Amino acid sequence: MKSYFSHLVCSKCGQEYAPDRLLNLCTCGFPLLACYHLDRVRQEVEKTVFQTRPATLWRYWELLPVLHPENCVSLGEGGTPLLELPRLGRKLGFSHLYVKDEGNNPTASFKARGLAVAVSKAKELGAKKLAIPSAGNAAGAMSAYAARAGLEAIVVMPEDVPPINSIECAMAGARVSLVKGLITDAGRMIQQARERYGWFDVSTLKEPYRIEGKKTMGLELAEDFQWELPDLILYPTGGGTGLIGMWKAFDELEHLGWISSHRPRMVSVQATGCAPIVKAFTEGADSAPYWEGAQTIAAGMRVPKAIGDFLMLKVLRESGGTAIAVSDEAMLEAQRLWGKEEGLFVAPEGAATLAALLQLKERGEVQPEERIVLFNTASGLKYTHLLHFDFPVLGLDQQLTE
Q: Quick check: 296 and 328 in contact, CB under 8 A?
A: yes
DSSP annotation of 252: H
pLDDT of 331 above 90: yes
Cβ neighbour number for residue 163 with a 10 Å cutoff = 12
Considering Cα of 360, then 88, then 383, then 244, what sign does the dihedral take?
Answer: negative
Tens digit of each residue's pLDDT (9 = 90 or more) over 7-34: 999 999 999 999 899 999 999 999 999 9
Give the pLDDT mean for 260-289.
97
Give the pLDDT mean for 276-290.
97
What pLDDT is attached to residue 263? 97
Q: Quick check: 87 and 340 in contact, CB under 8 A?
A: no
What pLDDT is attached to residue 82? 98
Q: What percent of the chain has pLDDT over 90?
A: 92
Mean pLDDT, the chain, rounded, equals 96
Tens digit of each residue's pLDDT (9 = 90 or more) over 106-144: 999 999 999 999 999 999 999 999 999 998 899 999 999
Give the pLDDT mean for 140-161.
96
pLDDT grade for 171, boundaries at 50, 70 and 90: very high
What pLDDT is attached to residue 73? 98
DSSP notation for 237-250: -SS-HHHHHHHHHH
CA gap 6, 70 in Å, rounded = 19
CA gap 97, 199 in Å, rounded = 43
Considering Cα of 248, then 254, then 255, then 257, what sign does the dihedral take?
Answer: positive
What pLDDT is attached to residue 295? 95
Distances (CA, A) of 23 to 34, 127, 229, 236: 12, 11, 33, 28
Backbone angles phi, psi at 175, to 5 degrees: -90, 115
Q: What type of residue is 320?
A: G
Nearest to 78 by CA among 237, 205, 224, 214: 214
What pLDDT is attached to residue 136? 86
Where are any strands of DSSP class E within 328-370? none
What pLDDT is attached to residue 79? 97
Give the pLDDT mean for 318-332.
98
What pLDDT is attached to residue 26? 97
What pLDDT is attached to residue 262? 96
| Residues near 141 by beta carbon (within 8 Å), at least 6 away in sequence | 106, 107, 109, 111, 112, 114, 115, 116
Burial of 96 (0-12, 13-18, 19+ CB in 10 A): middle
Pick left, alpha or beta for residue 241 (phi over 0 → left; psi -120 to 50 → alpha; otherwise beta): alpha
CA gap 305, 277 in Å, rounded = 9
CA gap 46, 259 in Å, rounded = 13
Going from the N-terminus, what domains does the chain have, and what CATH number goes with each?
82-108+211-385 (3.40.50.1100)
Nearest to 88 by CA among 378, 386, 375, 357: 357
Tens digit of each residue's pLDDT (9 = 90 or more) over 172-230: 999 999 999 988 899 999 999 988 999 999 999 999 999 999 999 999 999 999 999 99
What pLDDT is attached to residue 158? 92
Distance in angstroms between the alpha carbons of the first and the last residue of the chain: 60
Query: Which is higher by pLDDT, 389 or 105?
Result: 105
What pLDDT is attached to residue 1? 84
* 384-394 core/surface letters (b: 16 or more CB in 10 A; e: else): eebeeeeeeee
What pLDDT is attached to residue 339? 97
CA gap 236, 59 in Å, rounded = 26
CA gap 31, 211 in Å, rounded = 10
pLDDT of 402 above 80: no
Give the pLDDT mean for 327-341.
98
